[in-house]
Amino acid sequence: MPDLDLDQLYFAIVDGNAKAAAAVTQEAVAADVDPQLLLTDYMIPAMDEVGAKFEANECFVPELLISARAMKASMEVIRPLLLGKAVEPAGRVVVATVQGDLHDIGKNLVATMLEGGGFQIVDIGTDVSPDKLADAVATHQPQLIALSALLTTTLPSMKRMIDRLAADGLRGGVKVMIGGAPVTQDFADEIGADGYSDNAAGAVNLARQLMAAAA
């Protein structure tokens, strides 16, 4: 397929053009391009670029969301192929919004960025109780947990979740990162979380650091 230009995939994701991202990915797959190469050489670098722009205040949440949507559209095309090839993920992350809290936009963004960073995501939703988190950790054996809270009233749920993991003997094998508008580094330290970031792009860097520290 001589007209196939894979840089178009990179730019479609940076520009947040979901239709173009899916179309180029489909063309590439039809032309037998390795889906792993699409992910590592074009899709992840595109999300890294958007993440870097976001951290530099060169783009904002709406742009991040539309790029994330384009990334997802591309991921939908290659996910079955990647699963078929048993590609080794960067790590498995259980993602949740804490008990009492229904805000999921930030959580979903973090999940998508992590997925773009090569992590396998187990999203257990919003209003997640310590019981549900402990069950998910026991079942899915993640290396990382990402907890989100947007309400000051639900911040204590984060501590309850971490305490519950410790009580169940599950805390040692997993790193917990937390985020959401009212969360601070001081709060993360206070409740014994392993890391905090105030944005979704930073969450990917943090996840990579925590994986490296655990290795």
Nearer to ligand B12, 34 or 187 (CB): 187
What's the burial of 134, exposed, middle or buried (CB within 10 Å: 0-12/13-18/19+)?
A: middle
- The tokens describing 193, both together, are 């979380």
Q: Counting contacts by CB under 6 A, is residue 26 touching ligand B12? A: no
What percent helix, strand, coil does the chain show, rounded to 5?
A: 60, 10, 30
With binding defined as CB under 6 A, does residue 105 bind ligand B12?
yes
The interface mask with ligand B12, positions 137-176, x = CB under 6 A, is: ---------xxx-xxxx-----------------------
Does residue 110 interact with ligand B12 by CB under 6 A? yes
Among 83, 167, 181, 214, binds ligand B12 (CB under 6 A): 181
Strands of 92-97's sheet, edge to edge? Answer: 120-123, 92-97, 144-148, 175-179, 195-196
Query: From the list 178, 188, 191, 210, which residue makes contact with ligand B12 (rule: CB under 6 A)?
Result: 178
For residue 6, state whether it binds ligand B12 (rule: CB under 6 A). Answer: no
Q: Which is nearer to ligand B12, 22 or 210 (CB)?
A: 210
* Measured distance CA(188)–CA(42) in Å, rounded: 34
Measure the N-to-C terminal CA separation of the chain; round to a whole number of Å.
42
Q: What are the residues binding ligand B12 (CB under 6 A)?
A: 61, 100-107, 109-110, 146-148, 150-153, 177-182, 197-200, 203, 206
